[in-house]
A and B are shown apart, each in its own frame.
Chain A
Amino acid sequence: MLDKHNFVRLAENIWEIPPTFRDDMRVAARVYADEDLLDAALGDNSVVQLVNTATLPGVVKHAIAMPDIHQGYGFPIGGVVATRLPEGVISPGGVGYDINCGVRLLVSLTSAEEIKPHLEDIASSLYTNCPSGVGSRGHLCLSNNELQRVLHDGSRWMLDKGYASQGDLDRTEEFGRIAGADDAFVSERARDRGRDQLGTLGAGNHFIEVDKVAEVYDQPVAARLGIHLGNIAVQIHCGSRGLGHQVCQDYVSQFQKAVRDYQITLPDRELVCAPFESKEGQEYFHAMACAANFAFANRQLLAHLIRNSFEQALVGRIKDFKLRQVYDIAHNMAKVEEHEINGRSVRVCVHRKGSTRAFGPGSSVLPEDLRDIGQPVLIPGSMGTASYVLIGTTEAKQQTFGSTCHGAGRVMSRAKAKKMVRGTELRDQLGRRGILIYAGSMSGLAEEAPVAYKDVSRVVEVVHRLGIGKKIARLEPLAVIKG
């Protein structure tokens, strides 16, 4: 059993379990958290899961957990693990079932005050136009050729079809198309599951949220991102839907044999992995990239549907309801990146499982107009609280493989939340605070109650103080569409 005594406190908000803690650890395990958040992490199995990731072949520097760490399966959620290439491994379970689950933020020049009389119409249009639920079907059913294009080209296909602008692509991680996709490694059943799911939200913690910009911490950077105090913003949180789930299932199952073939010993079978450059490793990477492109395309089509919904609700009533994209980020992904380790640039495979890339100023992978300020980072909170816009930093690149937190992080099980909270009461309670809730399932809504989450402001404060993400703005919810 792990407790606080197993940690060495390296700095106010940095805690380390040394590699001597367990014989199979190859590197130390680090938790970035304040004391209370560390206590919360020790309340479930998440730190043991973090220690498990420190055993992966090729893991470098240290296995990292962000302050929103909580128990997942295999990797903890809020984990960052990098393996040295070419000999290091890639782990499908380290990316998870919702490959490229992520967040997109759109902003408007319209104020929340102007929108307020029409909010119910907007929320109702969003709920009607953006299908939700695990198996929900979208407006498009793709032919084999069209699906192949989506898997290879991601948001680029959406641009060709008129569902995106070049500006949207410029403001998307990897410009909406991750390299290395090859659909030859995506199974028929994964295609079947995804064929009609583009433009759908899914279930669980996925949502569309209309927000108000409630506070701005860095006026010049916020202005550069088009974020203005009092104005409307819209967040989309979802991923690669059934297609991504199936890609992960296919490879986690196949890799059960691969770990035996490569004689890799692991403390948990969900951590199955293979050397990145091996046949199995490459096949998974090609398939994962396809699922990631599918997720970029999914959020892009949802953005299109959201813009249509705003038009339906506001045309003739509000002058400028145009929604411009701030950024789109992934928080479940394995990516090949260069990072400095012991003064040398090293090529690594960075697994971010419930953590966000947060590259600072000067990064060559950012669009030219963001290079001097850094990459926008989007941190959604729970339904009744707040969300944050941060900007990536040089410190993140130095300390955490260019990564930061991804959300509030759960602190209570879904079963317990449902026992404590009734979905209808929660909806009414939030309604009294002026937050409209549209949800397909009241039971699912109760599972996502704010009480089941940590305080997102506290999580963000930790990464801000550590310098691995700088606060730019805070958003408060006005209407939430839940999957």
Chain B
Amino acid sequence: MNFEEIEHTADRAFRVQGRNFAELLVNAARAMGVLNRLEPGGEPPAMREIELEGIDRETLLVNWLNEILYLEQTHGEVYDRFQILEASNNYLHARLDGRQSIGSAPPIKAATFHDLAIRQTGDGFEATVVFDV
């Protein structure tokens, strides 16, 4: 996994990398699933397609993670496969695949903008995301 959890006194945070913006989004979603202690879901399979807008990439990243949390909570589903169909600086179109949730409720409430900046590195992109739990 291209992420590492970093110390945060009250909440949770990770640093995540991706070779491009789309991969950063996918890896961030997977990392959030790990922090959320999500167990593999049961039948039936679940699929959601989402479209998001934002004023920049940071806003899209936060909106993307919060959209996943919203869908998981309101539909009782768990997603573990993420396909970015289109991603620009202001627009995101993606497909989520998973299953019905069978585990206990996840602890993360929301992804925040705290100290958030997507940095270009020699290998692609890196971001630090802090979550409210």
Contacts and interface: CB of A to CB of B under 8 A. Distances in A.
A441 B104 contact: yes
Interface in B96-117: 104-110, 112-116
Given A71-B9, A257-B55, A203 B133 contact: yes
Interface in B6-25: 7-12
29 contacts: A70-B9, A70-B10, A72-B11, A73-B113, A73-B114, A74-B114, A77-B10, A96-B132, A97-B109, A133-B104, A134-B73, A134-B106, A135-B72, A189-B70, A189-B74, A204-B133, A245-B132, A246-B70, A253-B54, A253-B59, A269-B113, A269-B114, A270-B114, A410-B10, A411-B9, A413-B8, A414-B8, A414-B10, A443-B37
A162 to B, nearest CB: 29
A415 interface: yes
Contacts of B110: 97, 245, 248-249
Nearest to B11: A73
B113 A440 contact: no
Interface string B47-90: 00000001110110011001000101110100000000000000
A74 B113 CA distance: 8
Given A134-B107, A440-B104, A93 B113 contact: yes
A193 B73 contact: yes
Contacts of A193: 70, 73-74
A408 B114 CA distance: 23
A154 interface: no
Given A135-B73, A256-B113, 11 more contacts: A44-B8, A72-B114, A73-B114, A133-B104, A134-B73, A134-B106, A135-B76, A204-B109, A245-B109, A253-B63, A256-B59
A133 B36 CA distance: 12
A98 interface: yes
Interface of A: 44, 46, 70-74, 77, 93, 96-98, 133-136, 189, 192-193, 203-204, 242, 245-246, 248-249, 252-253, 256-257, 260, 268-270, 272, 410-416, 440-441, 443-444
Contacts of A414: 8, 10-12, 133
B112 A192 contact: no
Contacts, number: 116
B130 A73 contact: yes
A444 B115 CA distance: 25
B62 A203 contact: no
Contacts of A443: 37
Contacts of A256: 54-56, 59, 113
Nearest to A272: B113
B74 A416 contact: no
Interface residues of B, number: 36
Contacts of A260: 55
Contacts of B109: 97-98, 134, 204, 245
A183 B5 CA distance: 38
Query: Which DSSP category, helix, strand, loop or mixed, fits chain B's interface?
Result: loop
Given A71-B9, A410-B10, A135 B113 contact: no
A411 B5 CA distance: 18
A415 B34 CA distance: 13
Contacts of B56: 256
Residue picked from B12, B104, B130, most chain A C-beta under 10 Å: B104
A431 B59 CA distance: 46
Contacts of A44: 8-9
A288 to B, nearest CB: 15
A482 B52 CA distance: 35
Contacts of B55: 256-257, 260
A444 B107 CA distance: 8
A270 B110 CA distance: 12
Contacts of A411: 9
A408 B108 CA distance: 22
A183 to B, nearest CB: 18
A427 to B, nearest CB: 16
A413 B9 contact: yes
B107 A252 contact: no
A97 B104 contact: no
A253 B70 CA distance: 14
Contacts of B37: 441, 443
B113 A413 contact: no
Q: Which 7 A-B pairs rank lowest in CB-CB distance, beginning with the nearest?
A: A133-B105, A73-B114, A269-B113, A270-B114, A71-B9, A135-B105, A73-B112
B132 A97 contact: yes
Contacts of B115: 268, 270
Nearest to B36: A134
A192 B133 CA distance: 20
A278 B133 CA distance: 30
A203 B74 contact: no
A44 B11 CA distance: 12
A44 B8 CA distance: 8
A193 B132 CA distance: 17
A77 B10 CA distance: 9
Nearest to A41: B9
A93 B111 CA distance: 12
B113 to A, nearest CB: 4
A389 B54 CA distance: 45
Contacts of B12: 414-415
Contacts of B106: 134-135
Contact of A249 (B7, B10, B66, B114): B66
A48 to B, nearest CB: 10
A153 to B, nearest CB: 25
B112 A440 contact: no
A271 to B, nearest CB: 9
A410 B9 contact: yes
